[in-house]
Amino acid sequence: MADVPTRRRRLSQFPRLSTALARVSRLRGRTEDFIPARRRTPTMRFSRDRRGQSVVVGTVILFGFLILALASYQAFAVPAQNSEAEFDHNQDLQSDMQELRASLLDVGDAEDDPYQRPVSVDIGFRYEPRLFAVSPPPPTGNLRTEDRGPIDLTNARVSPDDASRFENTSLLFDPHETRLLTFVSGYNEYRSSPRTTFEHTLLYNRFERANQTVTGQRTVDGAERRLSLTTFSGDVDRRGFTTTLDPTSLDGPTPTVPIEPESDVESFQLRIPTHSPAVWTEIIGTETGVGEPNAAVNESLSSDRAVVVDLEGEWRLQMSRVGYDGGTVDRTPFSNVSRVDERSQAGNESSAFLTEWETDSITIPEGGSTSLNVTVTDRATGDPISNATINYSNARTAGSGRVRFRPTTDRTRDGAAEVSLDATDAVENDSYLGYATAGDDADVLSVNIGPPESTQALEPVAVDTSNSVLNFQMRNDGEETVTIEEFAVDTTRIQSGNFIESSSSDDELEITGSTTDGLARTQGQQVFNADGTRYSLEATGPGGQGQNAEIAAGDTVTVDIRNFEQRLDDGTTLEFTNDPGDADVIVTFVLSDGTEENLYLRRP
């Protein structure tokens, strides 16, 4: 490297460059500052550029406004929207309750073939989903029955002029239990929502400080002087989003019975259990002629659980019982209340018409139907009466089903009319009284429901079991030849893992004694599982062989099934049963038309 004097001599050859370097040296103090950066030791310097700070600050402020807006939306807008949605749901709920009320009253009012209409009630709902906000859990309501005491009449009697026309009327004046139905909401925002209550035909809303009627009441009709008392039965306690009630007529309605105050009083009293005496007081009024005519609320006798109504003069009373969703009948059903001419020959003798069923009693199979004739004649001459209108009604005396009367014609022809009795909705061991009324006379028919008729073609005849073999006979009770194409055996109710496998050359299944014998056979290690699995007779598995069975109408065949890995009996012979729920072994045959025929066997 050249020494300093040498470098200076070289720079002197370039006067302008030398001058420039000298000036820089004076300013900086060192010419080494002009050495290229890559040849110098690096030093750190902080930038003084401030151009990006405003963008960052603006972004932070904007984000803060966004968070504030979302928080405000969550805190104020979401609750307001949810409250509106809950209010709308409550309006829909009241519509559902009106529909339920209509169904309950339709069932209770109908004397024959009431239209039982299941009603769905939306007792809860879900909020609309939100993208940038959170809703509380969906509100669910509660639809429940409550007991506020019985409904009853006091200081009343059957009008003396009509007392001889009716029997068993004393139970009309007994206290009768009833249930009131109330919806209680579970809203998150609409906290002032009412409790919607149905009681004695009246539907109304119960707010904290007031009541609002949704429908009118039909219990006390002062203008017509009519009392329609329907008691409601059944324990209901439903929660969630949607529930369905199936109103059912349990008892009645009774005949319309004229009643009046006892001889020593001016009025009789009707006690109506309620959640709100105030709403009934407002509807009926506290003075006769104010509100409901000919009726007045007795405030001194009323309480916070019931309103007492004073009724003067003669009124017409009819009672019935309806189940909200099932229910029970008292040991003294309303059907015991009857006209004398419906039960007593003495009552009939005073009538001009003579109305008669063709028989006094009849048994109808469960789910079946039959037809009967009713005749109407002149009691004095015995001549048939044509064009007479016959009214039919029935009252259940035992059970939970219903029998329906379906007239073929509206009026008599040559003194007779035909009516069909339908037991589709009746249950075995039910019993009814069926009334046919024409003119001033009526007749009563005792109706009993028997076991259902078998619709199977194949009916069991006899059975024999021996260790691991099931042998029985069955008969084709149908009108045509049947072909068995598949079979199954199910023993899982008494044992698991059982199967059928013949240890010899015998067939596992043989059906013999008719047009074409049927058989099913396996080969090798194949088995027939006794777990309800279906097997084809003609193709009973790989390597198997078989043949469909044809059984002529009226023929009896023998069925032999062997050998079960586990014996079926427990030391006793199996027996046939008609009750599927009581069966230990089920043998199924599938016919060529797809019909499934089941035979049920049980251990004694």
Do 334 and 319 meet the contact criterion of CB atoms below 8 Å apart? yes
Higher-scoring residue by pLDDT: 203, 495:
203
Give yes or no for residue 305 having a pLDDT over 50.
yes
- The length of the chain is 604
For tokens 């309103």, name the residue.
307
Do 440 and 422 meet the contact criterion of CB atoms below 8 Å apart? no
Q: Note the pLDDT of residue 315.
A: 95
Do 326 and 399 meet the contact criterion of CB atoms below 8 Å apart? no
DSSP 505-567: SS-SEEEESSSB-EEEE--TT--EESBS--EESS--STT-EEE-EEE-TT-EEEEEE--BSS-
Q: Phi and psi dihedrals of 53, rounded to 5?
A: -65, -35
Query: How many CB atoms within 10 Å of residue 187?
Result: 21
Return residue ranges of the chain for CATH 2.60.40.10. 348-450
Give yes or no for residue 71 having a pLDDT over 90.
no
Higher-scoring residue by pLDDT: 443, 38:
443
What's the rounded Cα separation, in Å, for the pair 84 and 402?
A: 45
Please compute the mean of the pLDDT values over residues 423-435 and round it to a whole number: 80
What are the tens digits of pLDDT across the range 233-259?
989 999 989 999 988 888 878 888 999
The one-character DSSP state at 413 is: B
The two three-digit tokens of residue 111, written as one number: 């004397």
Residue type at 289 in one-letter notation: G
The two three-digit tokens of residue 260, written as one number: 């009046």
The two three-digit tokens of residue 167, written as one number: 């029997």
Whole-Å CA distances, 327 to 91, 240, 281, 505:
29, 22, 30, 60
CATH fold, domain 348-450, is Immunoglobulin-like (2.60.40)
Q: How many CA atoms lie within 13 A of 233 on its CB side?
A: 17
Q: Note the pLDDT of residue 331.
A: 58
Give yes or no for residue 344 having a pLDDT over 50.
no
Give the angle 96-99-101 at the CA atoms, nearest 5°. Answer: 110
Do 198 and 210 meet the contact criterion of CB atoms below 8 Å apart? no
What are the tens digits of pLDDT across the range 1-34?
556 566 666 656 666 666 666 665 665 545 455 4
Q: Is 222 left (phi over 0), alpha (psi -120 to 50) or beta?
A: alpha
What are the tens digits of pLDDT across the range 310-343?
999 999 999 999 989 876 666 567 877 877 654 4
Segment of 347-351, 454-458, 462-466, 529-533 carrying the highest mean pLDDT: 529-533
Print the SS3 string covering 438-492.
ECCEEEEEEEEEECCCCCCCEEEEEEEEECCEEEEEEEECCCCCEEEEEEEEECC
What's the rounded Cα separation, in Å, for the pair 270 and 229?
A: 10
What's the rounded Cα separation, in Å, for the pair 576 and 114?
A: 39
539 Cβ neighbours under 8 A, 6+ residues apart: 546
